[in-house]
Every structure is written in structure tokens, then in C-alpha cells.
Amino acid sequence: MHELAVMQAVVDQVSERLGDQRVATIRLSVGRLSGVVPDALRFCFELSTSGTCLDGAELTIEEPPGEAHCRTCGRDFELDQLIVLCPCGSADVGIVGGDQLLIRSVVLAA
């Protein structure tokens, strides 16, 4: 389960940047084409945050769909999986979104 390593990297980045400041909420963007399972991240969150500035924080994850562009017909379309075929049948498709894993925001505790 690489999600544990991913969540640990997120916690490390936030902790390194904020030091001892307490975090109330962290918001992530995990694209559906990122290869990361949001439910697994949620499962790993409490384990990864224990004893850090994120201990007790709320985790919010948005899951934007995959976005692609067909170079054959020029159509833009959404994807939910990595089977990259345009509705026109072309495989000459470029991924233009939905493969990200970003820390969108961190809200500090009062």
C-alpha cells in the first residue's frame, strides 16, 4: 500500500513547513487518474499524523475526474480510468488533468 508512504510525505511536508503550529484542517486534491486511492489515504491519515502538528486535524479530499484531449477530433472529455480512448475511437489522446496529488490548503488551529 503506497498510500501510507504518500500520506507520510504529505505530513512531513506540512510539518516541515509549519513546525509546531497546530493544524485544524488539511485539504488534498487527489485526481482519479493519480493511482492513489483516497479511502486508503483516509485510513493512513490518523496513523501518519499521530504525534505531529496534524494530530487531530480533519482531512478533506476532493477527487477531480480525469481530463483528456483527443488530438484526432479535438474533443475534450472526462475519464474515470486509465483506458484512454476518445469516444471517436482514437487512441491519440493526451491526459490534461486528473492525475494530480496536491495539498490544496492547510487551516491552522485557533
Residue range 51-96, pLDDT digits in tens: 999 999 999 999 999 999 999 999 999 988 878 899 999 999 999 9
Give the closest residue to 110 by CA, choosing from 28, 51, 48, 25: 25
* pLDDT tens digits along 16-48: 999 889 999 999 999 999 999 999 999 999 999
**Check whether domain 3-65+98-108 has CATH 3.30.1490.20, yes or no:** no
Mean residue pLDDT across the chain: 94
The length of the chain, given as a count of residues: 110
Q: Is the pLDDT assigned to residue 1 strictly greater than 80?
A: no
